[in-house]
Structure 1
Amino acid sequence: MSGVVVDTSVWIDFLAGLSTPSLEEALSQGSVILPPIVVAELVSGARRQRERAAIEQLIEKIPVHETPLNHWIRVGELRRDLRSKGVSVSTPDAHVAQCALDRDAVLLSQDAVFTRIARLSPLRVHSA
């Protein structure tokens, strides 16, 4: 495993102070990878300056997955492939999944859409 990509759903629990042992373990090992869209989702959901400051501290410490043009082409291919198998996913969800696939990483999420993606692709998902 080349790291752990962490979805927004898990970060929300972590930032709220809820127990997230899988994330906490990955953080202690320095293996967390942050998709850029997760950064945008977290920042847009911050209601207070304190929440925003906590998010900014995370962003400074955790590597953000680089997303060159060929990454976005693979995102489109993943969406097309899944749609051909009867599963429609949003571009942000396909982006998060593709970040994990690009890094041969496990995706840590509580969102059922990623379980559906994993059934039809090489994506590996671990529920938080």
Structure 2
Amino acid sequence: MAKPVLVDTDVMVDFLRGKSKAVALVQELSAWIILPGIVVAELYAGVKGDEELRGLDSLISLFRVVPLSLEHARAGGLYKKHYATSHGVGLADAIIAATAEAENADLKTLSTKHYPMIKGLKPAYTQTSQSQ
């Protein structure tokens, strides 16, 4: 079985906006994508209207959603404690990193600076002003 791929909120938002690089990435990796509960919550927080809500419900149903466990919460809290001051890491990103680690998943994000605890992390794709 292939290694799971945890997709960060920024990539999913680009996908929902129809940005070609995000669409290609999500389509290519769809069978292996996992979403932490915190990413799902962030996506729902941005929903505008019932139609978007139904569309997001349908999209989320295609992927495995990983609930926040004690292991993820503990590691995420410790990441936040360690990296918040030096790197400005927020709790959501700390939990996402901890979830990726616990699930042995590759993290796909555009916000690599939010994840100093993941060595060698590269952006999921490059953004350009014409990335439609």
What TM-score results when the alignment is normalised by the length of structure 1? 0.82
Check whether the contact 1:101–1:122 (CA below 8 A) recurs between aligned residues. no
Aligned residue identity for 2:58: Q
Cα shift readout 1:35-92 (whole Å, capped 9, x = no counterpart): 11111111110112221111101222211113221220111111223247x2231101
Q: Which amino acid aligns with 1:108?
A: K
Q: Which residue of 2 aligns with 1:25?
A: 28
Task: Count the aligned residue pairs.
Answer: 122
User: Mapping of 1:1-128 within 5 angstroms?
Assistant: 2-19=3-20, 20=22, 21-27=24-30, 30-83=31-84, 86-114=86-114, 117-118=115-116, 120-122=117-119, 124-128=121-125
Q: What's the TM-score, normalizing by structure 2? A: 0.80
Q: Percent identity?
A: 29
| Unmatched tracts of structure 1, length 5 or more | none
Q: Provide the alpha-carbon RMSD of the alignment.
A: 2.0
SS of 1:64 mapped into structure 2: strand
Uncovered stretches (5+) of structure 2, i.e. residues with no partner: 126-132
